Amino acid sequence: MGNGEKALEKLFRRGKDFLGVEYPILGGAMSWISEAGLVSAISNEGGFGVLAGGNMPVELLIEEIKKTFDLTDKPFGVNLITITPNFRKHLEYILKEEFPFIIFAGGLPPRDAITRVKQTSCKLICFAPNLNISKKLVKMGVDALIIEGHEAGGHIGPVSTSVLAEEILPAVKEVPIFVAGGIGSGISMVHYLLMGASGVQLGTRFAVAEESPAHPNFKEALIKASSKDAVPTAQFDPRVPVIPVRAIVNEGTRDFVTLQLGLVAQLEREAMTAKEAAEKLEEFWIGGLRKAAIEGDVERGSIMAGQSVGMVNRVMPVKEIIEELVEQGTKELERIIELVAEE
């Protein structure tokens, strides 16, 4: 084993031990895409697949979990979005089964939900958008954190991955932290590991994997796109709050603008409430992503992608994606070791 391989093994150790995997490389939970086939492929190749619970009916989530168990005997997680109507139903099933890994996304999780998870053998991973919430979640007993920057695809926060890493990694040592958002190569992976991360999470690259259920049109749109093509949505009126969504600009993006302006007009006429308007926006994105990713309508659907899309240039099997990340990471560490050893 070379120096680069030994160094990467050492940097991976905490994440590997926590997840029980060969490589602490997580597959991002992407609605309509992170289903049993892709999740099991990531886990079977040594990574950590994550099922996207979203707001699917609880019966469908149960079916996807069972399918995944049929396809892999390796560890994987289930991502539950705390702000969806079906969150409590999802959680009830997961807790009853004492599923090994639960990931909470969608804002600060309810305290009682964390308490209930901690009363079981389940390990809880939560998304943390800033340092204060990171510390709060650790005090509440979460087992690990994911920090995801503005460069990510889908719903995004306001702060870049690099700034979140600089802010949180040196200050929170109690639990493993996985970095996400804009990561497309083993080079960036290694530098976040050197900063103190226990692993990384990738979404966009796995969306274009051979095992991904995404429509060929969707994959081709990501392959053709450059990093600057993936842009966040704008908000036109604070009464209709928009959680920014990063996606490739197309007719669907312009449809969202039209919808938003229409909702503002309805609010002016008091024809709907702000809550109803927010729900309409979320319905648009859920339906829009399915239209693009599953049905292949890349003109009117939502082509959610992170800025790492510029590093996606072909469809690859999950095995090759993970091997490439590890090889790039090893070479980068060898370069660093040689550089600092020079007299």
Q: pLDDT tier at 317 (50, 70, 90 boundaries)?
A: very high
**pLDDT tens-place string over residues 74-118:** 999 999 999 888 999 999 999 998 889 999 998 889 999 999 999
- Helix, strand or coil, per DSSP, at residue 320: helix
- Contact (CB, 8 A) for 34 and 50: yes
Determine, yes or no, domain membership for 218.
no
**Same domain for 157 and 298?**
no
Token pair for residue 81? 């979005």
- Which residue type is seen at 51? L
Rounded Cα gap, residues 229 and 188, in angstroms: 21
**Closest C-alpha among 252, 249, 254 to residue 305:** 249
- Contact (CB, 8 A) for 41 and 18: no
Instruction: Say if residue 282's pLDDT is above 80.
Output: no
Total domains in the fold of the chain = 2
Q: Vertex 232, ends 278 and 247: CA angle to 5°?
A: 95
Q: Provide φ and ψ at 315, rounded to 5°.
A: -75, 130
**Same domain for 328 and 248?**
no
**Same domain for 116 and 153?**
yes
Determine, yes or no, domain membership for 242.
yes
Mean pLDDT of 152-169: 94
**Same domain for 15 and 159?**
yes
Determine, yes or no, domain membership for 55.
yes
Look up the domain containing 318 and give its range.
3-213+311-337
Domain containing residue 186: CATH number: 3.20.20.70
- Contact (CB, 8 A) for 303 and 252: yes
pLDDT for 343 equals 62
